Structure 1
Amino acid sequence: MGSDEARSGHPVTAMQWKNYSMERVVKTLPMPLAYRLQTADVYDPVTNKPRLQAILDHMSKEGRLEEDVAIRIVQEATVIFRKEPNVVEITAPTSTISVCGDVHGQFFDLVKLFEVGGNPDTQRYLFLGDYVDRGYFAVECVLYLAAQKIHHPNTLYMLRGNHECRHLTEHFTFRAECLCKFSENFFNICMEMFDTLPLVALLNGQFFCVHGGISPEVQTLSDVQKIDRFREPPAHGPLCDLLWSDPNSEFGNEKTNDFFVHNATRGCSYYFTYPAVCDFLNRNNLLSVIRAHEVQDMGYKMYKENKSTGFPALITVFSAPNYLDVYQNKAAILKYEQGKMNIRQFKNQDHPYWLPNFMDVFVWSFPFVVEKVTDLLLCLLSVCSDDELQEEVQHRGSVVGEGVSYNRVMNEYKVVKDKIESERPLRAQAQLSQERRQVLKTKILTFARLARLFEVLRVEQENVSKLKALSPNGVLPVGALAGGKETLLQALNGVPGVKSFKQAKALDRVNERMPSPTPVKASASVKPAAPAAATPSGTLGRATSMPPTSSGGSRTDIKNETPSNSRIPPVKTAVAAAQR
């Protein structure tokens, strides 16, 4: 069984697949499937719905679908999303529902998520957005989730995240991935689907589930229903806030009475405070806000309890483990069942390797070629004296780093110099001006430094790829290559003594901002809203004081003490971090 037969246009059998994989240099790594699934392969003629297992098996082996099939799946899911309201109400009196955070194109971890959460045929799911960008398998995530939505329109729910828009997908990786795997048309079809995704889910009448957070312009759930969601999210306003806002870094221990403060990290929207969340929950008779949007070292974070309920006012969940292949974080999902909230954690799965920005092997091999070319140029230009070169690099050790050392440059220079000078008349040697020699010397050192840059690119490809993933637009920091391996590692490691997760988060901070053009800046602060009974609809009043508490941050075991006069049904919570 050869590669030609495997690529003949028909699915391969298990035995053929085994033989096919043996053609690779790494025998244990099978080649990607070249056959693209057709409509007959994907759609069941009886149910007229996608075959989920066939899609999963095929994409898990890096296989793709024909573009018309992929477009059909996305468009059928779009029809379902379009019919859903801005606020999806999900009842969960007895059955289990898993609340999932950011996925970010990590398809093989998404498969693990469904293993941890259970079969969607028997379990319900709520995804909080950010299915694309950053990871290199976002197309697979979109197609698989869309196919699941077609099968389970009333038990699997997907909200919109801040990355489900044209602005961010063009700035990051999803558009480039669509062009690599399909076309611009497929990308536009996906954008149309993203425009239809609901914004908020109300879980069991108690939990306000959203991607980012609350907004000063959203006082009640009816305010969310009034938003026109079928469009590109703006740079300010309630739609922007629901997708972009974050909790204050001192959530629960603020030294301000402001409910909302401009979000300098994102460059748009707001930081919301603990009093703002408690006011929103009490105003709407809710128990907690569940959101995603921020990577967490343990996959989740539970914040300070609401004094009136004894339950965490805010919960963050993040479901992309080892985010960007750098963060080394765990992922988590929240499983809500019969009034009990469990947290299930899982680690990242191995996945196929993609070159940065979906580059092909020819572009990737460019540093190898240029390194050899610079070596040749060094030989051609080495016509100045030993003393001049020695003077230039004195006290600097190697000018070109490991593998392209000063001694190597000098040895090549001497060979060429001896040959040239043996053929050059003595009178011609005397006529070589000092300025000319200086120019040649500069060229030699310049190409020596270029040789170093391209050798670093060749030898340190993995570290370069990691650093590009953490840099805006995939651009390396200035001097990262010129400094060699040590500079690359220093850039990746960040400040000495800080944990790896914090290092990665600090490096990636610039990518948390809304990309240019710069959005309209929100006001420095927004005063809190008054209690519902005393505030006219659509107006903002002064803060009501909240009693301070001594603790904040995450909790591992939380008991709900719902007041007897509250309409919120009792909820028991136990964080059972079942690590997979």
Structure 2
Amino acid sequence: MEETTDVNTVVPPIKKMRLPPKIDLTLSTLEDGTQVSTLDRICKDVQAPATERPTDKQFWLSSDHDKPNLPFLRDHFHRQGRLEEEQALWIIRTGTDILRCEDTLLTVKAPMTICGDIFGQYYDLMKILEVGGDPYETPYLFLGNYVNHGRFGIECILYLWSLKISYPQTFWLLRGNHECRHMTDSFTFKAECIHKYSKDVYEACMESFDCLPSAAVINEKLLCLHGGLSPELQTLDQLREIDRFCEIPTSGLMCDILWSDPMEAYGQETIADSFIPNEKRGISYSFAYQAVCEFLERNNLLSIIRGHEPQEQGYRLYRKPENAVFSSLMAVFSAPNYKDLYKNRAAMIKYENNAIDIKHFDCSPHPFCLPNSMDAFTWSLPFVAEKIVDMLLAILIICSRRREVDWKGDRKEGREEDLLLSAPVSAPIGYSANDPDSVEFKRRAIKYKTLAVARMSRAFSVLRQESEAVSSFKVPVGDRLSADTLVVGGEAPKDTVQTFEDAQKLDLVNERLPPSHQQILFNMEQEKMEALYRACEATSEDSQLGRRIAWC
């Protein structure tokens, strides 16, 4: 009878309940009250990425299938489009066949437009070709470092190699220190290749990098290479004799011409040594002004043109030899706002009629990309996990509060928080901490659970903060988050980098030769343990968190 009465009491209100309003899931209301369609792009001024792979008709310039369609590729890559894997492999392997037949030391004629490091900045590469001139009528020489750090390295390779296929006698590519397996594995290019295409494409790129020439001489007067001089280098013939078809070694002539730098006090050295160990790179040498002058005189050259180092204005002209017209050493860097951090300009050098003309350009806008090719779901996991753990922590705290109130028997007047915070830490006499049915046992169980969840919350908070910092600092480091990136991302986000010098100081670690893959894995494990330890320590020292669980 009582059950029937209960049902009759409950059912009528349910029948009178209003049905939930119909919601149009095709519309969403923003914070400012604006309604937008969930079927369209929110930012309509941002072009949608290309989602379809090109057909053979689009890819090939003609029915001969011997050259790619450059205008199509330029626009397709500009829209973040990708090729069929067979098409990408054809470009890389055909370019490799051309590079393999070239001399290690190229001999080219002026006029020539000389470009420095690109570092995967495809949209700035388009600016280079716009400012420098159409490759159809403008000869180009690139000094290496086409990949890593930037998010569009494979697009740079595919388009540059397509230009090489189309203009093999006027478009020249040299090797940089980043065109090797060790550097591409340590930084971003390997992960990018595998993410966008496959490991086969990556291996094809590595084979092609081994075939890149090491240096070039323009009009028998200007030596162009990526790095600099070596104590072993006396004549140009030694460059011609380098066996370049291999991974870049960690010592010797081939290593030095790709890794060496001028001394910090170049032209004003206070030491007599012509070469000293390169402390900044952790490999190769730093060379002096006197070493360059002697090399130029010995080989009847006017100057050396190099890349390898970011320059605030995109170029640098070093001290001239006595009674000379040209600088003994010229540096050019063609990646503006390097890493979206340096705030530097970029430049290219035009050499024509025995004269040097330097052209500047600034960075071009590019699509936003999350670190390490992450998608939005992967990147947001620490944020979601932190909120879920906070909810679990709140539930445990509510349970603790209720148990405290039950244990007290009667509620005293006053705020619940004050009542709970004043609860004793230990149970009264008669309660056993080892009895699963006792209040003390249950109190302590909830307290330990709360503490464990709090530590987990702190750990996710650390991960979330590091994820935010790394995405704002934008220092790509391959498919892993290293201690260097996390420290830089956590302690010096991009907004605090005000000058070119600030960026250089923060980025010194990425200018060095990276450790081996085994050392990286070992360091990652050490960093993980240290991060968990820091999270636990931070939890113990968090006074607010301690207050929240003090009464558990």
Tell me how far apart the structure 1 counterparts of residues 485 and 515 of structure 2 sit (CA, whole Å). Answer: 21
How far residue 489 of structure 1 moved from its aligned partner, in angstroms, is 6.0
Structure 1 contact 200–210 (Cα < 8 Å) conserved: yes
Per-residue CA distance 1:100-148 (angstroms, 9 max, x = gap): 0000000000000000000111111000000011111011100110010
Tell me how far apart the structure 2 counterparts of residues 191 and 477 of structure 1 sit (CA, whole Å). Answer: 26
Match of 2:475 in 1: 469
Match of 1:41 in 2: 58
TM-score, normalising length: structure 2: 0.76
Match of 1:30 in 2: 47
Tell me how far apart the structure 2 counterparts of residues 376 and 22 of structure 1 sit (CA, whole Å). Answer: 32
Tell me how far apart the structure 1 counterparts of residues 47 and 39 of structure 2 sit (CA, whole Å). Answer: 7
Tell me how far apart the structure 1 counterparts of residues 173 and 250 of structure 2 sit (CA, whole Å). Answer: 22
Tell me how far apart the structure 2 counterparts of residues 330 and 431 of structure 1 sit (CA, whole Å). Answer: 68
How far residue 22 of structure 1 moved from its aligned partner, in angstroms, is 8.4
Match of 2:245 in 1: 230
Structure 1 contact 100–127 (Cα < 8 Å) conserved: yes
How far residue 381 of structure 1 moved from its aligned partner, in angstroms, is 3.5
Aligned residue runs from structure 1 range 281-296, under 5 A:
281-296=296-311
Amino acid corresponding to residue 55 of structure 2 in structure 1:
Q
Match of 1:74 in 2: 92
Amino acid corresponding to residue 453 of structure 1 in structure 2:
V
Amino acid corresponding to residue 103 of structure 2 in structure 1:
P
Structure 1 contact 105–134 (Cα < 8 Å) conserved: yes
How far residue 416 of structure 1 moved from its aligned partner, in angstroms, is 10
Q: 1:507 to 1:474 in 2, by over 3 A?
A: farther
Per-residue CA distance 1:436-461 (angstroms, 9 max, x = gap): 6874664465255346436636xx73
Match of 2:315 in 1: 300
What stretches of structure 1 of length at least 5 have no aligned partner? 1-20, 389-410, 419-425, 482-486, 519-580
Q: 1:191 to 1:304 in 2, by over 3 A?
A: same
Q: 1:445 to 1:34 in 2, by over 3 A?
A: closer
Amino acid corresponding to residue 507 of structure 1 in structure 2:
L
Match of 1:570 in 2: none
Aligned residue runs from structure 1 range 29-428, under 5 A:
29-43=46-60, 44-46=62-64, 48-92=66-110, 96-382=111-397
Structure 2 contact 320–327 (Cα < 8 Å) conserved: yes
Structure 1 contact 131–141 (Cα < 8 Å) conserved: yes
Q: 1:447 to 1:232 in 2, by over 3 A?
A: closer
How far residue 500 of structure 1 moved from its aligned partner, in angstroms, is 1.9
Q: 1:477 to 1:222 in 2, by over 3 A?
A: closer
1:515 matches 2:514:
yes
Q: 1:51 to 1:455 in 2, by over 3 A?
A: closer
How far residue 501 of structure 1 moved from its aligned partner, in angstroms, is 1.1
Tell me how far apart the structure 2 counterparts of residues 429 and 125 of structure 1 sit (CA, whole Å). Answer: 82
How far residue 477 of structure 1 moved from its aligned partner, in angstroms, is 5.4
Amino acid corresponding to residue 511 of structure 2 in structure 1:
E
How far residue 45 of structure 1 moved from its aligned partner, in angstroms, is 1.4
SS of equivalent to 2:350: strand
Q: 1:91 to 1:28 in 2, by over 3 A?
A: same
Amino acid corresponding to residue 50 of structure 1 in structure 2:
P
Amino acid corresponding to residue 37 of structure 1 in structure 2:
P
Amino acid corresponding to residue 96 of structure 2 in structure 1:
T
SS of equivalent to 2:507: helix
TM-score, normalising length: structure 1: 0.73
How far residue 365 of structure 1 moved from its aligned partner, in angstroms, is 2.1
SS of equivalent to 2:160: helix
SS of equivalent to 1:335: strand
How far residue 38 of structure 1 moved from its aligned partner, in angstroms, is 3.1
- Whose RCO is larger (CA < 8 A, sep 6+)? 1
Tell me how far apart the structure 1 counterparts of residues 249 and 214 of structure 2 sit (CA, whole Å). Answer: 14
SS of equivalent to 1:474: coil
Aligned residue runs from structure 1 range 10-25, under 5 A:
23-25=40-42
Structure 2 contact 94–165 (Cα < 8 Å) conserved: yes
Structure 2 contact 259–284 (Cα < 8 Å) conserved: yes
Aligned residue runs from structure 1 range 489-528, under 5 A:
490=492, 492=494, 499-517=498-516
SS of equivalent to 1:368: helix
1:446 matches 2:455:
yes
Tell me how far apart the structure 1 counterparts of residues 501 and 343 of structure 2 sit (CA, whole Å). Answer: 10
How far residue 73 of structure 1 moved from its aligned partner, in angstroms, is 1.0
Measured on the aligned residues, the alpha-carbon RMSD in Å equals 3.3
Tell me how far apart the structure 1 counterparts of residues 416 and 75 of structure 2 sit (CA, whole Å). Answer: 55
Query: Larger C-alpha radius of gyration, 1 or 2?
Result: 2
Structure 1 contact 126–156 (Cα < 8 Å) conserved: yes
Structure 2 contact 396–446 (Cα < 8 Å) conserved: no
Structure 1 contact 97–335 (Cα < 8 Å) conserved: yes
Q: 1:479 to 1:49 in 2, by over 3 A?
A: closer
Amino acid corresponding to residue 196 of structure 2 in structure 1:
K
Tell me how far apart the structure 1 counterparts of residues 504 and 151 of structure 2 sit (CA, whole Å). Answer: 19
SS of equivalent to 2:89: helix
How far residue 480 of structure 1 moved from its aligned partner, in angstroms, is 5.7
Higher mean C-alpha displacement, 466-475 vs 280-289: 466-475
How far residue 192 of structure 1 moved from its aligned partner, in angstroms, is 0.9
Tell me how far apart the structure 1 counterparts of residues 87 and 278 of structure 2 sit (CA, whole Å). Answer: 41
Tell me how far apart the structure 1 counterparts of residues 40 and 476 of structure 2 sit (CA, whole Å). Answer: 35
Aligned residue runs from structure 1 range 532-547, under 5 A:
none
Structure 1 contact 468–474 (Cα < 8 Å) conserved: no
Tell me how far apart the structure 2 counterparts of residues 446 and 414 of structure 1 sit (CA, whole Å). Answer: 24
How far residue 307 of structure 1 moved from its aligned partner, in angstroms, is 1.3
1:431 matches 2:440:
yes
Match of 1:562 in 2: none
How far residue 385 of structure 1 moved from its aligned partner, in angstroms, is 8.1
How far residue 431 of structure 1 moved from its aligned partner, in angstroms, is 3.1
Amino acid corresponding to residue 375 of structure 1 in structure 2:
D
Structure 1 contact 71–189 (Cα < 8 Å) conserved: yes
Tell me how far apart the structure 2 counterparts of residues 98 and 174 of structure 1 sit (CA, whole Å). Answer: 26
Tell me how far apart the structure 2 counterparts of residues 22 and 430 of structure 1 sit (CA, whole Å). Answer: 55
Structure 1 contact 24–30 (Cα < 8 Å) conserved: no
Structure 1 contact 471–507 (Cα < 8 Å) conserved: no
Per-residue CA distance 1:365-414 (angstroms, 9 max, x = gap): 2023202211122124326689x9xxxxxxxxxxxxxxxxxxxxxx9989
Structure 2 contact 112–350 (Cα < 8 Å) conserved: yes
Structure 1 contact 171–515 (Cα < 8 Å) conserved: yes
SS of equivalent to 1:465: helix
Amino acid corresponding to residue 106 of structure 2 in structure 1:
V
Structure 2 contact 210–244 (Cα < 8 Å) conserved: yes
Higher mean C-alpha displacement, 468-477 vs 355-364: 468-477
Structure 1 contact 267–513 (Cα < 8 Å) conserved: yes
Q: 1:385 to 1:480 in 2, by over 3 A?
A: farther
Q: 1:312 to 1:82 in 2, by over 3 A?
A: same
How far residue 177 of structure 1 moved from its aligned partner, in angstroms, is 0.8
Q: 1:371 to 1:431 in 2, by over 3 A?
A: closer
Structure 1 contact 259–272 (Cα < 8 Å) conserved: yes
Per-residue CA distance 1:18-67 (angstroms, 9 max, x = gap): xxx98212111222111111333212214721111011111111111111
